Structure 1
């Protein structure tokens, strides 16, 4: 077991050397948003530590400075795919795009963008035409100037597929009755309250000064010819000043006091501190204490965090054999196996669960001549090949061998197992368009934006 542990230490050390060849001071965060690769503000631990110390816990992330991008400590992985973008056209066929980001230390295998065809509706809107205008309506007032209007309908012809008629349905024009209207008086807005007769009151006093506000009959002023009605009601209001302030006392903070221990037992964590606004406490409208009553400061355990192992990809299946017997091209089942490795365990982390080796029954058909074949059904259309410029999609049919008289399963004393075919046989189908193994169709994607 000791040699395996030393080997894993070497693997982790190589990982740290590859992605942190020269350590530097960083801003350290407890975690990162795995979907978009950002460092949340509420996860900030502090600065004054190196990138290697911060990444003792591979769930953490860091920035080299406040404006630099967030870097996750763990090995690189793809984020989840984004939602599909809106279709490039609102009618007929276009394309839509989705993307993902490679977050972490290193590179990710695969594509960061996918494109597929889309159609929001099968037809495009066509505008209609207006009918003739109706007659003008009567004037909206019986004196002085008003308005009159006329309308028309969007039915000559009606629009199709969600179209409209350009222009307005209603037209308004001024009209003059040649009659003068009387103007009735109305109050203007109340003016501001005047100053109180005193600047402040003593706490507990029952005597209040008063203040006055006024308004004018000028919104509008009543006319004289023809005569308009005057304003009704009072032009002045008086009220007591019951809310005069006491002299304010502004608050001041007390001392910081520790309220929690370090939040972690490995890597970097936080220690909580609190303070109270009581030196003095605010009173009579005085300002409260600025800032937060709670803060968290960095604590360093000087201890690496455990790293649990992760399985590597499965290795290729071994050759299909049966105790040294030649079973190639025979209807006799053999055995093949494959294995994988548990990588990355360090600092007391957990070893990988589930088996590291698996086997299966097989037929060895390497270079065997298979005379019975068939063409597959057409595959689904592929995604579009590009997000701009020339873009196309394809589908295909492939020639498939038919393994006659090969049993699908093999029975042992304890169970019935499926049997797999291993190797590359020799075969071909009746030609389609002079092709004997694969037929491909290609069509262009429509309405793709220019690059």
Structure 2
């Protein structure tokens, strides 16, 4: 009974695992700056297969959140600092990073903000002074110009500011004085063409031609008005030698000049007309068209006659514009004719016309119909791009099922593509170091070095973890050793105040109330302790422990002095 229960549980676990196998969009890389997946291998790949290579990246939904396949979490590199939020005075710059891998990264600092100043001051525009008095007019007669100016000094601009508008202004000035000059006519101009090219026969009006002249007077003065030149500025002359205008001819009415050409049915009669209403004159155009014509005449008497065929009409269009290659049926075309009686008989025919009124002909001259191309199956033309995990393989297909023919359309789409391939082999995973352990106590074998200027030694260790599938071991040493002085609980008397350290980043990094700070700390004074050792190679000596000391009070503080300033123009939090 227990074995059956275990078997049932095992089957349920397998089915659940199979059901929960999640398909993702798999990428070959995660951008270390943006934390986004790049270089798509393909959609519809199981997450487990995608992550056979821990350097890969996947998205559960297309365009969704990017997830790294790495089993250990890691922060991306910080982005470059943004531009300062202001162009003058105090602003801030920001930079970001993202956590990728499976799990949470150590710490939660995704955003950093620091104070910045592009320019110490902001531009302030100046103001214009009052306009100066106008200068004297530039002319002593007629029209001249006068000017005035102003300066950008009320107040002066600062920090790159300016004044807007013109510094100089000009105005016309009229002296109301006439400049000395004589008034006179210019010579007469050339005659214009006559107003008509010919003389209408019997008309009273005769065409004329004209010529003009100009009165020369000062242009620059408007006061007072100068007396005009005597006489007129225009002269006319009749065009008496023009030829008479042409008169075009016009037809008179049509009149019959013969009897009807038949005694039964419809015949013809001859008609004439004369070009005399009026006749052409002085080179005028002759009457257009013909002077003689034949027109139908109806005797209204039936003529006896049998039926007869009219000529065959034109061939119709073929019932198709092309013929199918290899088809038995060929498109055809048709033409028709009409069984007629002698014109002008409108009575039933005596005998019908022999034969058919329709004729067909094969359109074997038509071109073959276009055959559009169709793709064949995709085939691999390259090896998988990787020897482990998911890679890419190049595939091609040919447009030959069938190939396009007789001007048919080419196959739509691409003939080459990359698709994913699964080696089903896990990729090697290199080992990585976990965090260093704390430093051990500073000691020296068989020596008491506490509170003395004797050099001891400290150790700390770390472990190489996460190595799988024949990946590379962690580089470097598993143990770190350094030289040290043991000053734990040692009295050193008066300490010294450090210099100000650098200004900190702004906290909080977004929103209101962001500040930055710097500190000075009370530090122990070790005047007689060498800071390094060695002959051929110098190595630093570190102080270990919690020494006992104090400093003179500084601004009311005994161990740490802090200065804080607000950060300005910090963006709101998203």
TM-score bracket for the superposition, by shorter chain length: 0.5 to 0.7
Q: Distance in 2 between matches of 1:410 and 1:155?
A: 68
Is residue 75 of structure 2 the alignment partner of residue 85 of structure 1? Answer: no
Which residue pairs with 2:118 in the alignment? 120
User: Shift of the alpha carbon at 1:329?
Assistant: 1.1
Deviations 1:201-227 (A, max 9, x none): xxxxxxxxxxxxxxxxxxxxxxxxxxx
Go from structure 1 to structure 2 and tell me whether the alpha carbon gap of 1:167 and 1:24 turns closer, same or farther (over 3 Å shift). Answer: farther
Go from structure 1 to structure 2 and tell me whether the alpha carbon gap of 1:161 and 1:359 turns closer, same or farther (over 3 Å shift). Answer: closer
Which residue pairs with 1:402 in the alignment? 525
Cα RMSD of the aligned pairs, angstroms, is 3.6
Verify the 8 A CA contact 1:372 1:403 in the aligned structure 2. no
Which residue pairs with 2:431 in the alignment? 309
1:140-219 to 2 correspondence within 5 Å?
155=152, 157=154, 159-163=157-161
Go from structure 1 to structure 2 and tell me whether the alpha carbon gap of 1:295 and 1:408 turns closer, same or farther (over 3 Å shift). Answer: same
Verify the 8 A CA contact 1:45 1:268 in the aligned structure 2. no
Q: Distance in 1 between matches of 2:78 and 2:151?
A: 45
User: Shift of the alpha carbon at 1:72?
Assistant: 1.1
Deviations 1:301-323 (A, max 9, x none): 22211111011222111111122
Deviations 1:13-72 (A, max 9, x none): xxxxxxxxx6533232222223222233x42234242x2332121011112232432211
Is residue 494 of structure 2 the alignment partner of residue 389 of structure 1? Answer: no
1:34 corresponds to which of 32, 35, 49:
32
2:493 corresponds to which of 358, 365, 371:
371
User: Shift of the alpha carbon at 1:415?
Assistant: 6.7
Verify the 8 A CA contact 2:494 2:552 in the aligned structure 1. no
Go from structure 1 to structure 2 and tell me whether the alpha carbon gap of 1:396 and 1:256 turns closer, same or farther (over 3 Å shift). Answer: same
Q: What SS does the corresponding residue of 2:493 show, helix, strand or coil?
A: coil
User: Shift of the alpha carbon at 1:450?
Assistant: 6.2
1:331 corresponds to which of 423, 442, 453:
453
Q: What SS does the corresponding residue of 1:361 show, helix, strand or coil?
A: strand
User: Shift of the alpha carbon at 1:405?
Assistant: 3.0
Verify the 8 A CA contact 2:56 2:68 in the aligned structure 1. yes
Is residue 99 of structure 2 the alignment partner of residue 96 of structure 1? Answer: no
Q: Distance in 2 between matches of 1:324 and 1:273?
A: 73
1:61 corresponds to which of 39, 42, 57:
57
Verify the 8 A CA contact 2:126 2:157 in the aligned structure 1. yes
Q: Distance in 2 between matches of 1:450 and 1:26?
A: 35
Q: What SS does the corresponding residue of 1:427 show, helix, strand or coil?
A: strand
Q: Distance in 1 between matches of 2:78 and 2:397?
A: 45
User: Shift of the alpha carbon at 1:377?
Assistant: 0.9
Verify the 8 A CA contact 2:375 2:397 in the aligned structure 1. yes
Go from structure 1 to structure 2 and tell me whether the alpha carbon gap of 1:358 and 1:269 turns closer, same or farther (over 3 Å shift). Answer: same
Verify the 8 A CA contact 1:46 1:297 in the aligned structure 2. no
Verify the 8 A CA contact 2:41 2:392 in the aligned structure 1. no
Which residue pairs with 1:184 in the alignment? none
Equivalenced residues, count: 338
Go from structure 1 to structure 2 and tell me whether the alpha carbon gap of 1:90 and 1:252 turns closer, same or farther (over 3 Å shift). Answer: same
Deviations 1:348-404 (A, max 9, x none): 111112211122222211100012532111111112223221121111111121224
Where structure 2 has 5 or more consecutive residues not aligned to the other structure, the ranges are: 1-19, 135-146, 170-368
Q: Distance in 2 between matches of 1:91 and 1:248?
A: 71
Which residue pairs with 1:45 in the alignment? 42
Q: Distance in 1 between matches of 2:57 and 2:131?
A: 70
User: Shift of the alpha carbon at 1:261?
Assistant: 2.0
Which residue pairs with 1:106 in the alignment? 103
Verify the 8 A CA contact 2:25 2:40 in the aligned structure 1. no
User: Shift of the alpha carbon at 1:420?
Assistant: 2.1
Is residue 320 of structure 2 the alignment partner of residue 322 of structure 1? Answer: no
User: Shift of the alpha carbon at 1:440?
Assistant: 1.1
Which residue pairs with 2:551 in the alignment? 429
Q: Which has the higher contact order (CA 8 A, sep 6+)?
A: 1
Which residue pairs with 1:72 in the alignment? 68
User: Shift of the alpha carbon at 1:430?
Assistant: 1.4
Verify the 8 A CA contact 1:53 1:267 in the aligned structure 2. yes
Q: TM-score scaled by structure 2?
A: 0.52
Where structure 1 has 5 or more consecutive residues not aligned to the other structure, the ranges are: 1-21, 136-149, 172-246
Report which stretch shifted further, 264-273 or 425-434.
Answer: 264-273
Q: Distance in 1 between matches of 2:523 and 2:21?
A: 55
Go from structure 1 to structure 2 and tell me whether the alpha carbon gap of 1:119 and 1:334 turns closer, same or farther (over 3 Å shift). Answer: closer
Q: What SS does the corresponding residue of 2:24 show, helix, strand or coil?
A: strand
Is residue 266 of structure 2 the alignment partner of residue 266 of structure 1? Answer: no
Go from structure 1 to structure 2 and tell me whether the alpha carbon gap of 1:124 and 1:424 turns closer, same or farther (over 3 Å shift). Answer: same
Go from structure 1 to structure 2 and tell me whether the alpha carbon gap of 1:403 and 1:348 turns closer, same or farther (over 3 Å shift). Answer: same
2:22 corresponds to which of 18, 21, 24:
24
Deviations 1:234-277 (A, max 9, x none): xxxxxxxxxxxxx9875543442320122222222222211234
Deviations 1:65-109 (A, max 9, x none): 324322111132222222333323232222222222222222223
Verify the 8 A CA contact 2:41 2:391 in the aligned structure 1. no
